[in-house]
Structure 1
Amino acid sequence: MVERANKPKPPTLSSTPGLPPQATVTFSDDNSRVIAELPTGESVTVLLYGATVISWKDAQGDEKLWLSEAAKLDGSRAVRGGIPVVFPVFGTAPTHPQTKDLPQHGFARTSRWEFLGKSTSESQTGSAANGPAVKLDFGLSSAAPGLDPIAAARWPFKFNLIYSVTLTQTSLTTSIVVTNDDSAPFDCQVLMHTYLRVKDITAVQVQGLADASYIDKVDGGARKTQSAAEVTITGETDRVYTPAGDPGAGPVTVVEAGRPVYAVTRDNLSNVVVWNPWADKAQGIADFAPKDGFRNMICIEPGAVGAWQSLEAGDAFEGAQTITLLG
């Protein structure tokens, strides 16, 4: 773990003639989170517990992620909201021999990750090609002191995770590399449990999932096909979509009151979970607050969870999502 004495300090490059202003990266006073801010005002905050992104703000300071007011940020339990990292199992898998004894969504989100450093020289494309950017890297391995003790007891494989969070003026990218450092093969699943903030869930449409097959977890795991062009949320929704074609073929777009607000693109993540607890389910979730907060969030969760990713010794799996602000 990086000690406070070695915390990144605000760079002085902005005062050097000929060099543009640079992003600043700092630690919180209690050393629990990393905060990055672009010179144009955009910011991202990552809690070392779970490497959970708990805030993403645009230049005007408007929050783009939903975080429960009752979320535990002290490392006592997984964070409700933001972008928790799901690994090595999505949900629970009572019939899978390697992960049957693990808690829901595995242990990556309940382990303390190490901050590996920053980079401000990420190459970009499109309208952000010449804009400022910052990339934060985090690591977790089977030998890490911050690993959830449940992992070592119930999933005794040697592994290494590198998780990167990249902030630009118009987007946030989260990517993960999973490496099998064991002599034996293991299976895993990966998902980025993204809670996007919206103003009114009843005015939201999710585009880009037409004709996709999905598992409806609210309807007992029934397999269905998305027949309507848009997904609308009118009650508890918990669906695991498998869009046809390559994951990078097209974005999943969140439209609110007729205006596109987010575009989520995927790299090597074949599934998209759409989740909203609605009123009754929210009432029963202890750390979901306010209880009517379901009106202001929608989870669009890219992942590789429709099947197991089987990694032989020395193999690696990579996946990423990019959330772009629209309008």
Structure 2
Amino acid sequence: MMDEMSTIENKSIEITKGINGLDKVILREIHGSTVEVYLYGGHVTSWKNEHGEELLFLSSKAIFKPPKAIRGGIPICFPQSWTPASLMQFSNLGSLEAHGFARNRVWIIDNDPPPFPPTVTNRVYVDLLLKPTEEDLKIWPHSFEYRLRITLGPGGDLMLTSRIRNTNTDGKPFTFTFAYHTYFSVSDISEVRVEGLETLDYLDNLKNRERYTEQGDAITFESEVDKIYLSTPTKIAILDHEKKRTFVIRKDGLPDAVVWNPWDKKAKTIADLGDDDYKHMLCVEAAVIEKPITLKPGEEWKVRQELSAVPSSYCSGQLDPNKVCGESKKLMPALL
């Protein structure tokens, strides 16, 4: 594998060993932003701005040892994520572990990917590839190719582009749900608010996935939250009052959004999460859950998520793309 990796010559990309000798890729942007990606899980574990400040949360007790998934960063949930009980009728979903197996498989660097959308100048990226093993086919009997491009932009933005193709030769379609299970680093969860999801319907995982409508003008946190928001906008903002920082999530093809924080009691029951870690993390996950994706053989599904961190002074209290994202970041270019 390392011989294959050595073909990468871009000075902005480094292949090295991470915790417990696991292979990882480091992307460096010219102004100082960095991203670390473990091939185990195709997992982004670190995203730092030009000042070296960590923007993603990683558990103080994260376990970097297969087959345990890494707690924090951006786990890839495929072919299943937070599937409501009403969707368990899909037999190819119900037998899988809670968040699928992509996050605890070893991906490879894809040195010859099919064409992606044009890459903006000064962006640095790495292409990863996941195919099912024989063991995977026993628990989910479908052949696929999952291509993941992880891109660090000139302004420090982080983009994940996913392309999943059905490569079954038996003519069978397959169905899946999906999420970028992003853990954001926040100063104090009690001082954070999420904008862009107000007035929307959601499924409450703490109440047997019953359906409700969000009533507040923004989402704030005083206790455990585990909700799946439906038919969400293409932009969501996370305002961190203490750090005077706003995270902006821009997403294409991912209609749902999971908002999760375990709070104190639940945190103590999670073995690979520190008792006080919940105070400094918030998961807002771009996802496809309510309406699973079905691909016929040969069909490909393409989605992406772009993350930015901007000063909160850019935000006027409303999710105005020009004010939250800046004039240079109005909309992502078309995915297809």
Fold match (TM-score > 0.5): yes
C-alpha distance in structure 1 between counterparts of 2:310 and 2:105, whole Å: 33
Q: Which amino acid in structure 1 is aligned with residue 101 of structure 2?
A: F
Q: What does residue range 104-119 of structure 1 map to in structure 2 within 5 Å?
A: 104-117=98-111
Q: Does 1:302 align with 2:286?
A: yes
Q: Kindly tell me: are residues 153 and 235 of structure 1, through their superposed partners in 2, closer, same or farther at Cα, counting changes over 3 Å?
A: same
Equivalent of 2:227 in 227, 230, 239? 239
Q: Does 1:36 align with 2:27?
A: yes
Count, aligned residues = 299
Change (3 A) 1:5 1:265: closer
Deviation at 1:170, TM superposition (A): 2.9
Match of 2:175 in 1: 187
Q: State the partner residue of 2:119.
A: 123
Mapping of residues 149-164 of structure 1, within 5 Å = 149=135, 151-164=136-149
Is residue 5 of structure 2 the alignment partner of residue 8 of structure 1? no
Report if aligned partners of 1:2, 1:115 keep a CA contact under 8 Å in 2.
no
CA deviation profile, 1:213-267 (whole Å, cap 9, x unmatched): 10011122110111211001111100000135xx53xx10001228451000110
Give the match's secondary structure for 2:194. strand
In 2, are the aligned partners of 1:190 and 1:303 still within 8 Å (CA)? yes
Change (3 A) 1:185 1:254: same
Contact 1:204 1:256 in 2 (8 A): yes
User: Which structure 2 residues correspond to residues 17-96 of structure 1 after superposition, within 5 A?
Assistant: 23-28=12-17, 30=21, 32-91=23-82, 94-96=88-90
Question: Residue type matched to 1:56 in 2?
Answer: W
* Residues in 2 aligned to 1:5 and 1:52: alpha-carbon distance in whole angstroms: 17
Q: Which segment is superposed worse, 69-78 or 105-114?
A: 69-78
Segments of structure 1 that go 5 or more residues without pairing to the other structure are 12-22, 125-129
Residues of 2 paired with 1:2 and 1:304: CA distance?
34
1:178 equivalent in structure 2: 164
CA distance in 2, matches of 1:118, 1:226: 45
Contact 1:10–1:26 (CA<8 Å) still a contact in 2? no
Quick one: which of 186, 189, 199 aligns to 1:201? Answer: 189
Q: Deviation string for 1:182-239 (max 9, x for gaps)?
A: 1211101111000000001100000001111100111221101112110011111000
CA distance in 2, matches of 1:167, 1:5: 19
- Aligned equivalent of 1:140, options 127, 130, 142: 130
RMSD between superposed Cα atoms in Å: 2.2
- Rate the CA distance shift 1:190–1:174 in 2: closer, same or farther, 3 A: same
Question: Where does 1:188-267 land on structure 2 (aligned, <5 Å)?
Answer: 188-243=176-231, 247-248=233-234, 251-257=235-241, 259-267=244-252
Distance 2:220 2:249 in 1: 17
**Counterpart-to-counterpart distance in 1, 2:258 and 2:45:** 19
Deviation at 1:5, TM superposition (A): 7.5
The offset of 1:3, in angstroms, is: 2.9
Deviation at 1:10, TM superposition (A): 5.8
Give ranges in structure 2 of 5+ residues lacking alignment: 312-336
Instruction: From the superposition, tell whether residues 294 and 122 of structure 1 become closer, same or farther in structure 2 (CA, over 3 Å).
Output: farther
Post-superposition shift, 1:284?
Answer: 0.1
Q: TM-score, normalised by structure 2?
A: 0.83
SS in 2 for 1:3: helix
1:148 Cα offset (Å): 8.1
Question: More deviation in 175-184 or 257-266?
Answer: 257-266
How far is the alpha carbon of 1:35 from its aligned partner?
A: 0.9
Structure 2 residue 306 is the aligned partner of structure 1 residue 319:
no
Match for 1:8: what amino acid?
A: I
Task: Report whether the alignment pairs 1:97 with 2:91.
Answer: yes
Q: Distance in 1 between matches of 2:147 and 2:273?
A: 29
Rate the CA distance shift 1:297–1:31 in 2: closer, same or farther, 3 A. Answer: closer
CA offsets, 1:58-107, max 9 Å, x none?
A: 11111000001211113231111000000011136654211221111111
- Work out the CA distance in 1 between the residues paired with 2:196 and 2:245: 12
Secondary structure of 1:280's aligned partner? helix
Partner of 2:332: none
Q: 1:148 to 1:303 in 2, by over 3 A?
A: farther
